[in-house]
């Protein structure tokens, strides 16, 4: 949790992608989704508070409107995806980072784009657990500095993880609970906040150019790892 929260504190993404895959190794899908949502709520919430002066308010409000629309649509869905399919989704997500940015022209500071971002990202969160690469498409061309990008993305993810936790909470609570696991979850919340602070220290020493370059390659490496994991699970049945 400390490592993944620090990574997200630097790049505004990638940490959640790693954490979701790690949780799926030891937990069923509903419990992994809820645990991931709670931990990421804490990490993103602390990051949003830490950089609150840089949050783009208009983009956040339009994103929130899209998130509400997605939540209403998701109320009609009751199935929990199989673990292999979740890994496949996690592995394919980084492909979005390599789409030609000059043709997409997505910008989270535009109201319609932020609304679409809220719908798409929230739905993807419920299906795959994370949506960082899709979220990044709406910010990579936005006229914002690295601090504003990290702050605004963190604020939007508080909403997305809230929807995810609400979606899977029933199934997760219906399963037998391990008290020790809950204790580890509580301890991880503190590490999430510490990781956000550490990531902020690194972010302050980076340039915008390095920020954009490293983000793409990190999530691509993680995606290749998850595609291999998905292939193994499908092969093993």
13-47: per-residue pLDDT in tens? 667 777 788 888 888 888 888 888 888 888 788 88
- 33 with 150: CB under 8 angstroms? no
How far is C-alpha 46 from the geometric centre of its chain's CA atoms? 14
More confident residue, 32 or 177: 32
Tell me the pLDDT of the chain averaged across its residues: 80
Distance, CA of 127 to CA of 140 (rounded, Å) = 23
- Report whether pLDDT(174) > 80: no
Count of beta carbons in the 10 Å neighbourhood of residue 118: 29
Q: What is the pLDDT of residue 156?
A: 92
Could you give the CA distance from residue 106 to residue 45 in angstroms, rounded to a whole number?
A: 25
Least confident of 31-35, 36-40, 101-105, 172-176: 101-105
> Does 125 score more than 70 pLDDT?
yes
Picking from 9-18, 82-91, 226-235, which range would have the lowest pLDDT averaged per residue? 9-18
Query: In terms of pLDDT, which residue wins out, 37 or 140?
Result: 37
Q: Is the pLDDT of residue 8 over 80?
A: no
pLDDT band at 118 (very low <50, low <70, confident <90, very high): very high
Q: Tell me the C-alpha distance between 224 and 221, whole Å.
A: 5
Per-residue confidence band for 78, with pLDDT thresholds at 50, 70 and 90: low
At residue 92 the predicted structure's pLDDT band, cuts being 50, 70 and 90, is confident
CA distance 47 to 53: 11
Q: How confident is the model at residue 61 (pLDDT cuts 50, 70, 90)?
A: very high
**111 and 62 Cβ atoms separated by less than 8 Å:** yes
**pLDDT(72) > 70:** yes
Confidence at residue 47, expressed as pLDDT on a 0 to 100 scale = 81
Q: What is the reported pLDDT for 217? A: 76
Q: Is the pTM here over 0.85, yes or no?
A: no
The four Cα atoms 127, 129, 133, 136 give a dihedral, to 10 degrees, of 100
Rg (CA), the chain: 17
Confidence of residue 68 (pLDDT cuts 50, 70, 90): very high
| pLDDT at res. 128 | 82
The reported pLDDT for the residue numbered 162 is: 92
Q: Higher pLDDT residue, 129 or 103?
A: 129
DSSP string, the chain: -HHHHHHHHHHSSSHHHHHHHHHHHHS-HHHHHHHHHHHHHHHHHHHHHHTGGG--HHHHHHHHHHHHHHHHHHTT------HHHHHHHHHHGGGGGGS-HHHH---TTSHHHHHHHHHHHHHHHHHHS--HHHHHHTTTTSS--HHHHHHHHHHHHHHHHHHHHHHHHHHHHHS---HHHHHHHHHHHHHHHHHHHHHHHHHTTS-HHHHHHHHHHHHHHHHHHHHHHHHHHHHH-
């Amino acid at each position: 949790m400390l490592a993944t929260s620090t990574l997200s504190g630097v790049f505004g993404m990638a940490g959640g992608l790693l954490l979701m895959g790690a949780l799926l190794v030891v937990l069923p899908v509903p419990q992994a989704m809820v645990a991931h949502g709670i931990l990421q709520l804490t990490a993103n919430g602390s990051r949003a508070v830490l950089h609150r002066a840089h949050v783009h308010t208009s983009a956040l409000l339009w994103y929130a409107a899209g998130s509400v629309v997605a939540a209403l649509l998701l109320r009609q869905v009751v199935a929990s995806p199989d673990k292999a399919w979740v890994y496949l989704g996690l592995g394919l997500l980084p492909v979005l980072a390599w789409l030609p940015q000059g043709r997409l022209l997505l910008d989270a500071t535009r109201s319609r784009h932020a609304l679409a971002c809220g719908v798409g990202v929230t739905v993807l969160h419920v299906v795959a657990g994370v949506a960082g690469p899709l979220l990044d498409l709406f910010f990579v061309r936005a006229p914002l500095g690295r601090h504003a990008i990290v702050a605004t993305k963190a604020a939007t993810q508080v909403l997305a993880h809230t929807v995810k936790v609400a979606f899977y909470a029933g199934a997760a609570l219906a399963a037998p609970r391990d008290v020790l696991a809950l204790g580890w979850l509580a301890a991880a919340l503190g590490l999430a906040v510490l990781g956000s602070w550490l990531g902020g220290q690194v972010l302050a020493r980076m340039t915008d150019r390095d920020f954009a370059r490293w983000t793409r390659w990190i999530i691509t490496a993680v995606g290749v790892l998850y595609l291999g994991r998905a292939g193994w699970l499908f092969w093993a049945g």
